[in-house]
Each structure stands twice: as structure tokens, then as C-alpha cells.
Structure 1
Amino acid sequence: MKRTIVLAAAVLLAATACGTSEPAASGDGDNPSTAAAQPVSITDSRGKKVDLKAPATKVVGLEWGVVENLISVGVMPVGVADVKGYNAWVTAAKLDPSVKDVGTRGESSVDAIVALNPDLVITTSDESASALAQIEKAVPVLVVHAADAKNAIPQMKTNLELTASAVGKTEQAKQINAGFDKALADGKQKIAAAGKAGTSFTMADGYKQGSTISMRMYTSGSLLGAVGNELGLQNAWPAGGDKDYGLAPTDLEGLTKLKDGEFLYIANDTDGGDVFGKDLAGNAIWKNLPFVKTGNVHRLADGIWMFGGPKSTEQFIDAAVQAVTS
């Protein structure tokens, strides 16, 4: 199971952005009556310039965070990689039943993509160079940086802005990012008001392969780990994660280094099950972990995509605040 996973009309991205877009001649790019007539020129995360005759309207998304962002700004993609998986893991932005499946993430079908006659394909830097080369023979491709453990929240915002610029929805992206900032500030205030500021927390997911249970800890470099810190909590996982997603693999023995605190995790009954709440329920080591003994284990709701855009991350904010303050 794979879980790992700008502004065109008038605004240039900040220096931390993974891409930029050149302004259109008029600056009225979000006006439906004029946006269609304006060319779009974008520099993506590869440093590659992507030129479109007009904002894209028929778009294929090959990563779920990209798809979420497209729907969030008001553009329903015509094709998505792994529709079933998206519907199981992403509830912040619902797919229309008409959206076509174009294969799996990382192994999409070029034939299925081309058959949809899209204006643009959007994917992330996780896509292989060979796959990109094949797709680009037929369709322009915009690549956003998958994630950045040194800059997790700004990268999330940048990816939304870059995606929005390609479809003429820069103003919508601004509003969504502003809404995320407000949700984060409100969540921080609620945690402080409950006397929980500074509370130790860890965030995890896990899965079982045969008899082996593997876990991934969301360090301060991960998107959700960084958000937890911004909420006023303190990420207790001591080890660094990978350079992109900020994830640190561990096992049950690794959890014994943790002291008491809030243990948050995401599972999915339709894809991988719940290793913490079910598979480990009778395990002596698990039952004797400090946060388990004190009842500070919280399964968050299904369908909060851990590598998504502002809308999914707002869902995490709401769930984390409720778990910590209840």
C-alpha cells in the first residue's frame, strides 16, 4: 500500500516556493470571461517552464494531494490515479463519479491518460523520470514538489498555489490558504484555553505485512507533525525522518522510548486496518506503554489524508484539537 506519497495571473511565489508563474498580460486571470483567453506560463518544481494557451480545464491528477487541491479550487479532474484509494483516504474533497481511473499512483496508464484528451497532467516529484517522459510526449505535465521536511507547511501552501495557477484559480488558492491559517490559529487558541499548551504528543500510522507490524512516526518535519507543533503541542518523537515527508520508521520496541503523552494515529478499515487498536490490543509491550496505560491513545477519523493540502490538514487540526482537549 502506497501512502507516500505560483501564482500565474498576478503573483510570483516567495523564495521558498517550488515553482513560479509569469503574470498574464491582464491580471484578471480569475475572471471566467477573460481567463480562458489568457495564456499561462508556469515554472514547476523541476525548474521546467510549462506553457498553456489558456488555464487548463481538463486535468488529470496522479497524486491525491494534487487532486484534493484541484477540487478545492473548483476544478474537478477528468482522470485520477487510483480512484478507489482516493475515495478511501481523502474525504476533504470528494470526487465526482464521472472521474476516470488512470491506473495506480506511480504506475499510471499513459494510454488511459491520453484517451481523456486532457489539457494538463499534474503530478509530484515522486513520479519517475521515465513515466514523466512518456506522458510528456502527449500531454503537458506540471510537477509540484511532493513534500519538504524542512518547510512542510509552506510547501503545502505552495503546491496549492502552483496547482491553482495552472487552472486560473489563484484567488481561490489565496482564500483557502488564509482559511487554513485561521483554522490553525483557532486550534491553537482552543488548546491553550484547555490548558493543554506544551502537551507532549506523537503522531503515527502503521500497517501489517504478514505477521510483521511496521509503523511510521510523524516527526516535526512531517506536515502533520509540524502542524501539531504550531498548535502549541510538542512532538515527542526524538529521531529525524526522511528529507521529504519527515517520516521515521519504527516498530513496537521503538515506542518504548516514549513517555506519557498524547498518541495520535490514523488508520483505515478499508485499507490496512487498525494495527494499534486491533492487532496490538493484546500485546503485553503495547499495553504497558505509558500513554496506553493512561488512555491517551486516539484514533483519528478515517479519511484524513496525511499528505494532502490545506483542506485535509484542516481536518487533522480539528481532530487533533478534539483528541487533546476532550
Structure 2
Amino acid sequence: MKRTTALLAAALFVLTACGTSEPAASDDTSNAAAQPVSVTDARNKKIDLKAPATKVVGLEWGVVENLVTLGVMPVGVADTKGYTNWVTAAKLDPSVKDVGTRGESSVDAIVALNPDLVITTTDESANTIAQLEKAAPVLVVRGADAANAIPQMKINLDLVGAAVGKAEQAKQLNADFDKALADGKQKIADAGKAGEGFTMADGYKQGSTISIRMYTTGSLLGAVATELGLKNGWTGTGDKDYGLAQTDLEGMTKLKDGNFLYIANKNDGGDVFGGDLAGNAIWKNLPFVKSGNVHRLPDGIWMFGGPKSTQQFIDATVQAVTS
């Protein structure tokens, strides 16, 4: 936790030095809302706005969750149906327009909404960003950082908060997350589960092939579980951004006993662990399956979200490990 706090403090210092938000302090909230805002994004590019953005399009679900949590309902979102299935921590209004899929949004649909800001991530193509910037300012946040997963989540919320005039609310939400994490860690310790092993995964079926993604300590949820006082049994590395590692059922045979946490969604992909693999001999002989330590977390906890989704994960993990 000390390393995480230090990293966040340093990151926030950089954001402040870069002029993340420049409106002068004022007791008149209406005047403050009209003040210009300047935000330096993940590209180290300065985004200047005449006032905090109110008509915002979000092209990645994590930034959309942050917007809704901050009280700014976006006018457009990439794949509203998918968001509704996967993100229950911050629900969309029916009025929000769908602007295409994540990674392949419709520039025409976005421009038609006449937004005063588009927020996306470093996963977006440079070509799409360039097209969008012809019509509106574009704020780019880093999708994830496997070296600093929790601090990056907080930085992204702070950036979004600054752009929409909700910097103080973002600060409070990050503080609420810290408290939830500390409370969860205490509950696990009180239950005598500190240091207990866990692994976490999600799985997908394409045809007859099942692909499994393991959440390393560099993933956001893997990092959170580690901060809760649990020990990740998957020791392999993942990708540099999201901290995910690809494997298959045979690759899981090296895992020891412990809590196996997994994410599934009845509306998108179903449950490969509780369904497709339930009768598989290899699966049934995995240590955590034989000992009954398999826990499906509730649907609708977005694995790459902001503090609200991650707090859902904290609650679900504490419940699974201590029950």
C-alpha cells in the first residue's frame, strides 16, 4: 500500500504541474463552471476547454463509468449494450446514444452529437483520434498499466474529473476506494485468511476452443486482491498494459489449491468454468475444484473499470474468501 500511495502522489504532482485544471477558485459555482479548463492527457498533450465539458462521448467503458460516477451522463458511448451487460456500478440513461463498437466507433455518429469533448484511451487507433480531433477536443487516458495498476486507475479518474469540472468529486471517490480497500483487507485478516492463495481468470469459448485469461499481479483486479492480503498463485507475467496472461486448461494444472475467482457473464459468453468445463476430467481434478474453492463472482463487475467497479470486486472477493 505504501508503494501504491507514493506512486499516486507522484503522479498527481505531475498532473498538477502540467496544469491539469486551471480555473481559479471561486465561491460562485456558476462562475467556476464557466471558467476555462486545461488538462494534460496520456499523450502529454494539453487539452484546452472554454469550460468544463458537459456533452461528452466516451469510447471505453472505464472512462464511461468514471463519467457516470462523477454525475456526468455521456451523450454517446461505444457499445451501450455491452456496457449495460458488463458495468453495473454506474448505469447509463436510456437517452445515451450508441456510437459503434469499442475500437471501431463511428466517427460520423460521434460528430453528429456535437460533443464538446471525446474521451478515449491509448488503445484507440491514432487514425481515429486524428479524425475525431477535427470535430472536437479528444482526451486520451492510458487504458491500463501493469506496473502501476491501481495508481493508473486513480489517475484516469482524476483526469476525467478535471475535464468535466469534478476534480474534488474524483478526489473523494479515490479516497472512498482507499477506505474500501483497507476495510476489505481488515475483514480478510479478521477472518484469518491473510496470505491465503488465490488465482483469478475469465474464459471464452470460440467454436470448440476454450481460451482462458489469467489475472496476474499486474492486472487491476489481481493488484487489488494482492492489496487485500491474498497471494496470487499465478506467477507468470502478463501483457504490459492489462496484466493478463493467456493459457488453457492444461496450463492450469500447475496451480495449487486456493481460492479460484472467476468472472463470467450470462448475457455475453456464458460460464465456461461452471458449464463447458464442469464435466471435464482435467478440470475436476484441479486442486481448487476438488476442495470446493471455486467462486464465480457476480455478473456485471467490470474488470477494467474505475473505483466503483473495483469496489464491487473488493466486496465480492471478501465475501468469497471469508464465507
Give the TM bin, normalised by the shorter chain.
Answer: over 0.9
Q: Secondary structure at the match of 1:216?
A: strand
Q: CA deviation at 1:37?
A: 1.8
2:267 — aligned with what? 270
1:221 — aligned with what? 218
Q: Provide Cα deviations, 1:144-165, integer angstroms capped at 9, x if missing partner.
A: 0000000000000000000010
2:161 — aligned with what? 164
AA aligned opposite 1:64: W
- Is contact 1:18-1:45 (8 Å) kept? no
- Judged with a 3 Å threshold, the aligned counterparts in structure 2 of structure 1 residues 73 and 12 are, in CA distance, closer, same or farther, namely farther
Q: Secondary structure at the match of 1:207?
A: strand
Does the alignment pair 1:26 with 2:29?
Answer: no
Equivalent in 157, 177, 181 of residue 180 of structure 1 = 177
- Is contact 2:87-2:309 (8 Å) kept? yes
2:40 — aligned with what? 43
Equivalent in 137, 140, 149 of residue 140 of structure 1 = 137
- Judged with a 3 Å threshold, the aligned counterparts in structure 2 of structure 1 residues 28 and 146 are, in CA distance, closer, same or farther, namely farther
1:120 — aligned with what? 117
Does the alignment pair 1:87 with 2:101?
Answer: no
AA aligned opposite 1:315: Q
Indicate the larger mover: 54-63 or 14-23.
14-23
Q: CA deviation at 1:138?
A: 0.6
The whole-number CA distance in structure 2 between the counterparts of 1:12 and 1:141 is 25
The whole-number CA distance in structure 1 between the counterparts of 2:129 and 2:79 is 17
2:70 — aligned with what? 73
AA aligned opposite 2:139: L
Does the alignment pair 1:189 with 2:189?
Answer: no
Cα RMSD over matched residues? 1.7
Q: CA deviation at 1:16?
A: 7.0
Runs of 4+ in structure 1 over 4 Å off = 15-20
Does the alignment pair 1:62 with 2:59?
Answer: yes
Does the alignment pair 1:256 with 2:253?
Answer: yes
Q: CA deviation at 1:19?
A: 9.6
1:3 — aligned with what? none
Q: Secondary structure at the match of 2:19?
A: strand
- Is contact 1:66-1:122 (8 Å) kept? yes
- Is contact 2:21-2:39 (8 Å) kept? no
- Is contact 1:19-1:42 (8 Å) kept? no
Q: Secondary structure at the match of 1:305?
A: coil
Identity %: 77
- Is contact 1:89-1:304 (8 Å) kept? yes
2:100 — aligned with what? 103
Q: CA deviation at 1:28?
A: 3.9
- Is contact 2:259-2:293 (8 Å) kept? yes
The whole-number CA distance in structure 2 between the counterparts of 1:17 and 1:147 is 17
1:8 — aligned with what? none
2:296 — aligned with what? 299
Q: Which runs of 5+ in 2 are unaligned?
A: 1-8
The whole-number CA distance in structure 1 between the counterparts of 2:322 and 2:64 is 32
Q: Secondary structure at the match of 2:212?
A: strand
1:5 — aligned with what? none
Q: Provide Cα deviations, 1:193-249, integer angstroms capped at 9, x if missing partner.
A: 000000000010000000000000000000000000000000110100000000000
AA aligned opposite 2:19: S
- Is contact 1:91-1:303 (8 Å) kept? yes
Does the alignment pair 1:130 with 2:127?
Answer: yes
Q: CA deviation at 1:25?
A: 4.6
- Judged with a 3 Å threshold, the aligned counterparts in structure 2 of structure 1 residues 87 and 42 are, in CA distance, closer, same or farther, namely same
- Judged with a 3 Å threshold, the aligned counterparts in structure 2 of structure 1 residues 208 and 16 are, in CA distance, closer, same or farther, namely farther
The whole-number CA distance in structure 1 between the counterparts of 2:10 and 2:135 is 28
The whole-number CA distance in structure 2 between the counterparts of 1:15 and 1:167 is 19
Q: Provide Cα deviations, 1:25-46, integer angstroms capped at 9, x if missing partner.
A: 51249x6412332101111000
Q: Secondary structure at the match of 1:111?
A: helix
Aligned length, in residue pairs: 315
- Is contact 1:13-1:20 (8 Å) kept? no
Provide TM-score, normalisation by structure 1.
Answer: 0.94
Provide TM-score, normalisation by structure 2.
Answer: 0.95
Does the alignment pair 1:309 with 2:289?
Answer: no
- Is contact 1:19-1:162 (8 Å) kept? no
* Higher percent of residues as helix: 2
Equivalent in 232, 235, 249 of residue 235 of structure 1 = 232
The whole-number CA distance in structure 1 between the counterparts of 2:81 and 2:32 is 33
Q: Provide Cα deviations, 1:226-282, integer angstroms capped at 9, x if missing partner.
A: 000000000110100000000000000010000100000000011011000000000
- Is contact 2:99-2:105 (8 Å) kept? yes
- Is contact 1:87-1:95 (8 Å) kept? yes
